[in-house]
Amino acid sequence: MNAPPGPRALRDAFGTFATGVTIITGTKPGGEPAGVTVNSFTSVSLAPPQLLWCLQQDSTSMDAFAPHRAFAVHVLAQGQEALAMHFARRATVKFPHGANPAGDAAPLIDGALCRLDGTVEAQHAGGDHVIIVGRVSAVTFGTGDPLVFQAGVFGRFAPLPRARHVEAWETFEGDWF
Ligand SMILES: Cc1cc2nc3c(=O)[nH]c(=O)nc-3n(C[C@H](O)[C@H](O)[C@H](O)COP(=O)(O)O)c2cc1C
């Protein structure tokens, strides 16, 4: 049997999977705004409307995403790479002073391709990460092209020539070619 892969090989292997990039915001119990750059975001369920992301266990933002707290997932657009890197910084003041949202609301970031608002439903153990499941209460669409992340590099999405629209939530029964 092969030895299990080390962290470097695992990072490289996970990194081959191209993803979008999100910034997920919330508010800590003391009222301090929190925001983290996340590419582990994924859809979970349509009914009920659920999504998830994986947050490293030692994230300084963990308290903001306790059950029942509000979150906002911002799906980033082309041109928001610097914002992504800003929210990938640890334990710095990520929001300008005075930009605190009212009460427990999640702070909002302009210019996203889409925003999914909701409340945290559950946190599940996931090794050195915590799997956070959120219930979606509203979606808001913006404009632009998606920001893509692969093998540690930001890029863009390029549809294939003659690409057809696929409804990923339905079983595909047609002929592809
Ligand atoms: C493109 C990109 C994707 C990332 N995805 C995740 C992720 O899915 N989960 C996570 O915990 N950290 C992820 N990070 C790292 C966090 O953004 C970073 O460690 C975090 O913001 C640290 O701040 P915090 O301690 O306030 O959470 C990602 C960073 C980048 C640049």
Asked if the structure places residue 81 within a domain, the reply is yes
- pLDDT for the residue 169: 75
What spacing in Å lies between the alpha carbon of 168 and ligand 1's midpoint?
27
pTM: 0.94
Residue 15 lies in a domain: no
Q: Which helix (H) or strand (E) is 125 found in, with range?
A: strand 114-126
Residue 175 lies in a domain: no
Q: How far is CA 41 from the centre of its chain?
A: 4
The finding on whether 88 has its CB within 6 A of some atom of ligand 1 is yes
Q: pLDDT tens across 85-99, in order?
A: 999 998 678 887 655
> Do 79 and 145 meet the contact criterion of CB atoms below 8 Å apart?
no
Q: Are 102 and 70 in contact (CB under 8 A)?
A: no
Does residue 5 form part of some domain?
Answer: no
Amino acid found at 45:
S
The rounded distance, in Å, linking the Cα atoms of 17 and 97 is 36
12 falls within a domain: no
**23-66: pLDDT as tens digits:** 999 999 999 999 999 999 999 999 999 999 999 999 999 999 99
**How many structural domains are present in the chain?**
1
The answer to whether the beta carbons of residues 157 and 76 sit under 8 Å apart is no
Containing structural domain, residue 99:
20-156
2 in any annotated domain:
no
Q: Domain of 73: which CATH number?
A: 2.30.110.10
Residue from 25, 27, 37, 109 whose mutation best tests the ligand 1 pocket (most atoms within 8 A of CB): 37
Residue 2 CA, distance from chain mean position: 33
Q: Among 53, 56, 73, 75, say which to mutate for ligand 1: greatest number of ligand atoms within 8 Å of CB.
A: 56
